[in-house]
Structure 1
Amino acid sequence: MFLNQDRIGATVSQSRYVIGHQQPDTDTVCSALAYARLKQKQEIDAVPARAGELNPETQFVLERWNAESPPLLNDATDEQLILVDHNEYSQTVAGARNANIVEIVDHHRIGDVETSNPILFRNEPVGSTATILTQLFADADETISAQTAGLLLSGLLSDTVVLRSPTTTERDRVVAKQLADTAGVDYEKYGKELLRHKSKIGEKTPREMILSDFKEFEFGPAEVGIGQIETVEPDVVLDQQDAVLAAMDDVATERDYAVFLLLVTDLLEEDSTALVAGTETATVETGLDTSFSNQEAFLPGVMSRKKQVVPPLEDAFN
């Protein structure tokens, strides 16, 4: 159920909850907000929701565009769900396996979510879910407000690292300019603001850091966790590497992961340092064509978990 019942109203059982993945990032939260707004324009009872706590960048975005945070959904059992920015059960809100999933909009690999009936499944190889949603507004001939454009632009710039990620497509660049015009901002200048907030690690414990942007995958018989810390100050993480690795070891043991891989991504240098825990380090070395020394490896030019890490690891484990 929702923690904040006051914002749900009396028609909760009829609502469709638009929700992103666990450990929500800016694209997943802003996509939930924007798509719920589109559904409401189409007179569909849709409510945005989130499956976890907000990170500092997303908090900044919501304050910047004067938007309320979607309420937290603790358990989706027996609810109607529209999934955005993911389509794997390991990443869904609790109870999703016992919910009625009625729609999916995503830009990641096709996962394992199954439905009893045909649904609208929009999946495209672009840099963000926000890019797809901008097209869905156009397809529905619905106007995007300046506030909604700001939210969508935030999700797009965040997921593509201000159009610098290898996942960025020409469509993302075109849409970013369109959304920036509607929102009334310079997307490059605004993107630099996002990078500063994305980099905020604050007073997080090592465990909080490694799980702040985290996804779980099933690669054949193996359960694999992959976290990512995107920062302009990677030394803040790497200087406490022993504590970070200890936290990774604990999580891998608790959750029975074959591997816990953490990418510490330097947003300025556009590369990553990988830290690894678990029993299948050799498989990760094969998949990423690297070698680990003291559980650490340098990955030049690697910025995207989705495009540069998940596919080769999936191949290596299968």
Structure 2
Amino acid sequence: MSQTKYVIGHQQPDTDTIISALACARLKQAQGEDVIAARAGELNPETQFVLERWDVEEPTLLEDATDEQLILVDHNEHSQTVEGAREADVVEIIDHHRIGDVETSNPIRFRNEPVGSTATILTGLYDEADVEIDEQTAGLLLSGLLSDTVVLRSPTTTETDEVVAERLAEIAGVDYEEYGKELLKQKSKLGEKEPREMVLGDFKEFEFGSYDVGIGQIETVEPAPVLEQRDAVLEAMDEVVAEREYDLLVLLVTDLLEEESTALIAGDHTDTVEAALDTTVEDREAFLPGVMSRKKQVVPPLEDAF
């Protein structure tokens, strides 16, 4: 009897990673596989809203993946995987980020595309498998796509994302612009959380050579409530740096309407941030006009700089 597989996204899961786990599990189940949708952390307010809107149960919380079979979605770096992933059997990866350091003992299916969301890739996989996308699944996939592309406004957005969004919105029976505005409102609720929760709410770890770097992001239509707490947020960032021994921690506070970010800095290597992002850091803060995407506009130049 074959072992049950868990399909799971990264730690500090965002909407695209949760939706991708759910949609991928549904696809595999339709193909007769024994697959369970899982998550590697708690849901954020936006994701909770999505699951309630489409009447879908949240994925199973998987706290330790040791000796399990895993399908990784929306990531492929060990610094972002569920606990125990290094001792698990990774059997497939579906992702839209840079190719990281997850190694496997056997050849696997690895689908990686330069599009705005993993939900976009999964929509294509449904088509390739000739599996129908029902209204509920379309609503989920659309949510992941719109969340990760900031309602098609992010620089990561491709023509493929736009075409897929229109199609999914039609199946789901919603206007994607109106629905997207609802998602943006939910993103802003992160500013109501405690400073440490803000820092770690949408957070990823990276290994740039011998340097350990954390990059968090708060996407909001109202950045003021977050920035008004900057001293408390910076204090929380300093605590995280000390606990995890990061060389650098950057927190992006992204204004989705103005399409710009303010970066808060903790740890060393301020000069590296200035050089990489072509900015000036004053009092541990830098203004980044036009910067909305951690994946496309922040990670690559920082990696190059380190």
Task: Return the offset for 1:203.
Answer: 4.0
Q: Give the match for residue 127 of structure 1.
A: 116
Deviations 1:208-232 (A, max 9, x none): 1110000000001000000000011
Q: State the partner residue of 1:48.
A: 37
Report the counterpart of residue 285 of structure 2 in structure 1.
Answer: 296
Task: Give the match's secondary structure for 1:262.
Answer: strand
Q: Distance in 1 between matches of 2:245 and 2:176?
A: 42
Which residue type is aligned with residue 101 of structure 1? Answer: V
1:199 aligns with 2:199: no
For 1:102-113, list aligned pairs within 5 A: 102-113=91-102
1:236 and 2:234 matched: no
Do the aligned partners of 2:191 and 2:225 also contact (CA within 8 Å) in 1?
no
Superposition map of 1:51-70 within 5 A: 51-70=40-59
Listed one character per residue, the Cα deviations across residues 100-150 of structure 1 (whole Å, up to 9, x for unaligned) are 000000000000000000000000000000000000000001100100000
The runs of at least 4 consecutive aligned structure 1 residues that moved more than 3 Å come to none
Aligned equivalent of 1:171: 160
1:185 alignment counterpart: 174
Q: Which residue of 1 aligns with 2:301?
A: 312
Q: Displacement of 1:73 after TM fit? A: 0.2
1:165-191 CA distance string (max 9 Å, x none): 000000000000010011010000000
Question: Hey, what's the Cα distance between the residues in 2 that align with 1:240 and 1:41?
Answer: 47
- The two structures have a TM-score, normalised by structure 1, of 0.95
Structure 2 residue runs of 5 or longer lacking an equivalent are: none
Three-state SS of the structure 2 residue aligned to 1:153 is helix
Q: Which amino acid aligns with 2:172?
A: A
Question: Scaled by the length of structure 2, what TM-score is found?
Answer: 0.99
Contact 2:253-2:261 within 8 A present in 1 as well: yes
**Which amino acid letter does the alignment assign opposite residue 207 of structure 1?**
R
Matching residue of 2:130: 141
CA distance in 2, matches of 1:270, 1:174: 22
For residues 46 and 105 of structure 1, what CA distance do their matches in structure 2 show?
Answer: 15
CA–CA distance in 2 between the matches of 1:202 and 1:173? 29
Query: Counterpart of 1:137 in structure 2: which amino acid?
Result: Y
CA distance in structure 2 between the partners assigned to 1:201 and 1:47 by the alignment: 28
Determine helix, strand or coil for the equivalent of 1:242.
Answer: helix
Tell whether the 8 Å contact from 2:191 to 2:226 is kept in structure 1 after alignment.
no
Matched residue pairs, number?
306
Structure 1 counterpart of 2:68, which letter? Answer: E
Partner of 1:69, secondary structure, is: coil
Query: What is aligned with 1:96?
Result: 85
Give the whole-Å Cα distance in 1 for the aligned partners of 2:212 and 2:148.
Answer: 24
What is residue 269 of structure 2 aligned with on the other side? 280
1:38 aligned residue: 27
In structure 2, distance between residues paired with 1:16 and 1:256: 33
Q: Pick one of 63, 71, 77 that aligns with 2:66.
A: 77
Residue identity opposite 1:117 in structure 2: N
2:144 is aligned to 155
| Contact in 1 for aligned 2:191/2:198 (Cα 8 Å) | no
| Aligned counterparts of 1:167 and 1:179: Cα–Cα separation in 2 | 19
* Separation in structure 1 between the aligned mates of residue 287 and residue 219 of structure 2, nearest angstrom: 15
In structure 2, the residue matched to 1:3 is none
**Which deviates further from its counterpart, 121-130 or 232-241?**
232-241
Equivalent position amino acid for 2:209 in 1: G
- Candidates 255, 270, 279, aligned match of 2:259: 270
* Structure 2 counterpart of 1:290, one-letter code: T
Cα RMSD (Å): 0.9
**Counterpart in 2 of 1:221?**
210
- The offset of 1:201, in angstroms, is 2.3
Measured in 2, the distance between the counterparts of 1:284 and 1:293 equals 12
| Rounded Cα–Cα distance in structure 2 between residues aligned with 1:59 and 1:247 | 25
- Hey, what's the Cα distance between the residues in 2 that align with 1:289 and 1:87? 28
Gaps of 5+ in 1: 1-10
